[in-house]
Amino acid sequence: MSMDVGGAKGGLKADINVTPLVDVMLVLLIIVMLIAPMLQKGVDIALPEAEHTGDKPDTADQTVVAVGPDSRLYVNSLPVTEADVITKLQGILENSADKTVYLKGDKAAPYRAIMQMMDALRGAGIETVGLITEKKGGNVGGNQ
């Protein structure tokens, strides 16, 4: 793409150089590609350990309720209030073939908070609740 600025033959021509623009855009694309997976880490929950535990469920396809160390609640890594947990879960499970809800309780969370959540899940008609624990030795697993 060029533009004539001079009227005489051999006059000044101004070209728009898109190479620096493409370079900057590629660098920005690489930065976004590197940072995006880090943003999807989820909620950091220190799971309690158990020796006899099954394989870790694939939490990308599962419905997970997490109870943080400060008793904050999360549904699929999104913070929710205690009043909204059941409504949000019913909306998720309505469109899901798997009606299992996995409960991740931080080992520093009060036992009362985890049991209240289990009771609320059962009271809402969710019959299958799995507890996610960490296998002693570092492997994460789920035990129902």
Is 80 in the same domain as 31?
no
Is 112 in the same domain as 138?
yes
Is 144 a residue whose pLDDT tops 50?
no
Is 27 a residue whose pLDDT tops 70?
yes
Q: How many CA atoms lie within 13 A of 111 on its CB side?
A: 0
- SS3 state of residue 89: helix
The sign of the CA dihedral 56, 57, 59, 64 is negative
Give the CA radius of gyration of the chain.
26
Q: pLDDT class for 24, splitting at 50, 70, 90? A: very high
In the chain, how many domains are there? 2
**Mean residue pLDDT across the chain:** 80
Query: Is residue 25, in this structure, part of any structural domain at all?
Result: yes
- SS3 state of residue 144: coil
Q: Which tens digits make up the pLDDT trace of 64-80?
A: 899 998 889 999 888 99
Check residue 143 and give its pLDDT: 45
- The domain in which residue 35 lies consists of 2-39
Angle of helix 85-94 relative to helix 111-123, nearest 10 degrees? 50
Check residue 123 and give its pLDDT: 87
CATH number at residue 74: 3.30.420.270
